[in-house]
Amino acid sequence: MVVTTVVGGRREHRKWARESLTDAFVAFLEASWAHSDVVRDAPARRAVDGDDAQECYAEMRSQLTRLRLLASEEVLRAGEDLLRAQRTAQEARPGAARQEALLAAARCRRLVVAAAKREMGLP
């Protein structure tokens, strides 16, 4: 009975950790997409509206904190790179610089997805 309880407890803990990790990845990536949408939809001749962009950026930071507790260094590096890329996109001048920064953020986002899949043992 004790063995069953211990094994069952470990199994539940792993299940909880995997679900929490998945939730953090999804929330982090959703906030990244939302941030990119805000930046992309900003008027072509003006700076990005701070409130919506800041809200998305703050959500990314919050989820990255969760990932720090649950994920590997590889995932954290990819996530931090994406967070920096999003900030660069937000601060980029309108036009070509902003578009290039958004493309860089998209490349970083793909690296986060790849790292997340490896972390979770997915193909």
CATH number at residue 104: 1.20.120
Average pLDDT over residues 59-63: 97
Q: Enter the pTM of the model.
A: 0.85
33 contacts 26 by C-beta, under 8 angstroms: no
Could you give the CA distance from residue 105 to residue 11 in angstroms, rounded to a whole number?
36
52 contacts 36 by C-beta, under 8 angstroms: no
pLDDT digits (tens, 9 = 90+) for 23-43: 999 999 999 999 999 999 887
Average pLDDT over residues 70-89: 96
Average pLDDT over residues 51-65: 94
pLDDT at 60 over 60: yes
Domain count across the chain: 1
Domain that holds residue 27: 2-119
